[in-house]
Amino acid sequence: MTPKPSICDLTAANLAHAIAKGDLSSCEVVEAHLGRIEEQEPHLTAFVTVDAEGARRAAQICDAAPAPIGPLHGVPVAIKDLTDTAGLATTYGSVLFRDHVPAEDDLVVARLRRAGAIILGKTNTPEFGFGAVCTNRLRGPTRNPFDPALTSGGSSGGSAVAVAAGMVPLAHGTDFGGSVRTPASFCDVASIRPTPGRIPSPRRPLGWDMLASHGFLARGVDDLELALSVCAGPDAYDPLSAGVVNDDRPLAGRPRIAVTPDFGVARVARDVRARFGGACKALARVADVAEASPDCGGAIETFRALRAAHIASSYGELLRTRRAELTPTVIWNIEAGANLSAEGYLHAERRRTAIYRSFRALFGRADFLVAPAASVFPWPNEISDVMSIDGMQLETPIDYLAVTFIVSLVGFPVLTLPVLRGVNELPFGIQIIAPPGSEARLLAFGRILENELGFSHRRPKLP
């Protein structure tokens, strides 16, 4: 007889349905997840801040409401600690902001609350999101629930671990170069990085910047779709959000999938290539699969340049005034853009445009493009940066992310799903990429892979 799942094993969609029907109260659900956090947080360090009393108050309000407030009524969620939460400490993973309490929610948080979600706390991240290991001078390292000696990945590692360990069914993340996708791959969960602007960022200083995006991590596609449904939609103060066009044509016939282990330029470990090859064989059961890639020549240098320019612009003043309080990783990231010329920046933008058009051309003959969601498997927490793959030295500490940051460069939506694994195999995920605006089709295909191929989360054995 199959044992009845605990509250913490239920998905966000299941919980929302059970609370709406009256089978569970929001207070019960919140207490169950707070209990899981209390039990697992000493081992895993997924959270910077847990707001137990605030969550309990919000649950009581939900239970007293005459009808569900919204689609996430009474469902606990976690927010990455790079994103502002009104009245709840937001540290950005930095001692410089250990006492920072925002007056207002970021729009993505406000929309989650309006949908009835209950914020349980803020998940751990490297300082300002810069780092391969999810640690900072406040908390960490955030440990992988499948092997606590290993990293959870950066920079949404706290959110990935919170979801994988059942501390919350759904967590928010942000993704610049792979920050929801790498932790999702390492922790056997699903993630979505939507088309930039799909979830607006009206306070973003560079309004037309599409390198960074909000995203979500969950244990399945249904929960990602639910989160996206309540957070998507234009905002007058985000110029990118006004330009997102829905491309919601349904899947017709057998999908055509282009697969690439490396986009022709990324360094990818041999054991990752082997696992990816097995995933591609499985995909052939539900789709027509052919190896193909956009022309990504120069993509690594292009992303390095654009990322460095953005970081230097955003954090250069901190480097000048508070250098001694910053981690070495943050210092390296800021200094990398200090000497970039206007000509160098525009050259990178020209190359980026060419790569985008090559992606577009590929989607004239394929419905989806599939690639690994990480170039390596999780490594020990004591190793701060990936500087070589299979013994080959990398030029910079971010190059191991090339297999994900190439997609950030062009702004196509990406769904990450865990693939099947053996008993002793570490988690591993794939990126499923679609044209901008086609999240509905992407999620529909993800559901096929979950149901027909078993590309879905399996719970870790928790202490």
* Residues known to be catalytic: 80, 155, 179
Query: Amino acid letter at 211?
Result: L
Tell me the pairing of strands 213-218 and 288-291: unpaired
The token duo for 150 is 């290993």
Smallest CA-to-CA distance from 305 within 258, 269, 351, 254 is with 351
Ramachandran bin of 18, using left for φ above 0, alpha for ψ from -120 to 50, beta for the remaining angles: alpha
* CA–CA distance, 161 with 45 (Å, rounded to integer): 9
* CA–CA distance, 448 with 119 (Å, rounded to integer): 31
What is the dihedral sign for C-alpha 168, 169, 173, 175? Answer: positive
Those residues with Cβ within 8 angstroms of residue 229's Cβ, 6 or more apart along the chain or in another chain:
71
Those residues with Cβ within 8 angstroms of residue 202's Cβ, 6 or more apart along the chain or in another chain:
107, 235, 236, 237, 238
The token duo for 183 is 């932790």
Q: Which residues of 20-40 are buried (b: 16+ CB within 10 A; e: fewer)?
A: eeeebbbbbbbbbbbebbebb
* CA–CA distance, 180 with 431 (Å, rounded to integer): 11
Cα maximum dimension of the chain: 67
The token duo for 69 is 């407030």
Contact 75, 118 (CB under 8 A): yes
